[in-house]
Amino acid sequence: MNTKHQTQAMRVGILGFGGLGQAASRILSPKQEMLWVAAADQKGFAYHAEGLQADSAIATYHQQGSVGYLEPWGQLSQHSIAELIEKSEVEGYFLALPNLPNTFMADIARLFIQSGWQGVLVDALKRTSAVEQLLELKDELATAGITYMTGCGATPGLLTAAAALAAQSFAEIHQVKITFGVGIANWEAYRATIREDIAHIPGFGVEKASAMSDQDVADLLDKTNGILALENMEHADDIMLELAGICSREQVTVGGIVDTRNPKKPLSTNVQITGRTFEGKISTHTFTLGDETSMAANVCGPAFGYLKAGIGLHQRGIHGLFTAAEIMPQFVR
């Protein structure tokens, strides 16, 4: 029995085992407070009450296409998430799933509600309209005994929370401007992320981007030399800051550049919060992420920080829907 098990670490699962899901499993490996026991992808799931190993799960996924092949803990399934919920004991899940179509994450939330499962769910949703669908489920989540933390990646997530913190210096907020730079070595490592980004390009949209084959995506990226330049994105940072009472959604803008052929960031990710102090001074706070920190580090780290915070709320009987702008993430040791 390993030490994590003996110290009664929080037992967590990862749904979706693509780019972010795999990074999430590696982040959890050295953690003492969380034990990774469950994973699901489109074709199967794996569960081991005493902990799964990131290296072998990732190798199996790459070689055979699903964690369902992981010996002896894996199982192939057409309904991997539903079966995993039924067969495992997990306190909280990180939903590293694609949100394609745009209703997918809300459907997963309904699946959890209907299953009777109680615990904590954390997503890294990006679109405002996707977070709005979850808001509609707020009461059902609360009644079901689920504590759901939404928008808990990097943006929305870490940067939205930084904006909420920075806002405290001001009497009035004028603008929140998020600019991100993402560098990845190849787009296939983060298929859903890139498809969802393409959906923000004028003339595309979610339906068109979901329908694109891998070859279509590769052809598009060939035309742009691997670069996606995005502006005025529909990003839930806006509704999250509005719900937190910080500013109206019109005052929040999100844009960025994604380089799909180079792990070096094309620009430094930052959030600028401009406002007026009580003395009448106009000023801007800027929070800039270190260029060496990857998208995976800045999404999965916060996701588990919010999972830990969510487990704390759940243990106190606090259920329902919360966003990254209203709860402080807790560092996972």
Q: Among residues 96 and 311, whose Cβ is nearest to ligand NAD? A: 96
78 burial via Cβ count (<10 Å: 0-12, 13-18, 19+):
exposed
- Output 59 or 171, the one with its CB closest to ligand NAD: 59
Pick from 68, 74, 157, 181 the residue near ligand NAD by CB under 6 A: 157
Helix, strand, or coil here: 326?
A: coil
**Residue 63 CB, nearest distance to ligand NAD (Å)?**
14
Total interface residues for ligand NAD by CB under 6 A = 29
- Whose CA is closest to 106, among 159, 148, 45, 157? 148
Interface positions, 190-219, toward ligand NAD (CB under 6 A): 190-193, 196
> Which residue, 80 or 128, has its beta carbon nearer to ligand NAD?
80
Catalytic residues: 126, 196, 200
DSSP SS3 for 319: coil
Residues 6+ apart with CB under 8 A from 68: 41, 43, 44, 45, 46, 74, 75, 76, 77, 80
Residue from 282, 275, 244, 290 nearest 176 by CA: 275
User: Which of 83, 98, 117, 175: binder of ligand NAD (CB under 6 A)?
Assistant: 98
CA neighbor of 88 nearest in space, from 138, 35, 126, 32: 35
Side-chain-side CA neighbours of 273 within 13 Å: the count stands at 25
CB of 156 to ligand NAD, least distance (A): 6
Applying CB under 6 A, does 47 fall inside the site for ligand NAD? no
Residue 124 makes contact with ligand NAD by CB under 6 A: yes
Minimum distance from residue 322 beta carbon to ligand NAD (Å): 15
Distances (CA, A) of 99 to 5, 63, 127, 328: 33, 25, 9, 25
For ligand NAD, the closer CB: 146 or 158: 158
Residues in the site for ligand NAD, rule: CB under 6 A?
Answer: 16-21, 40-42, 80-81, 96-99, 124, 126, 153-157, 190-193, 196, 295, 299
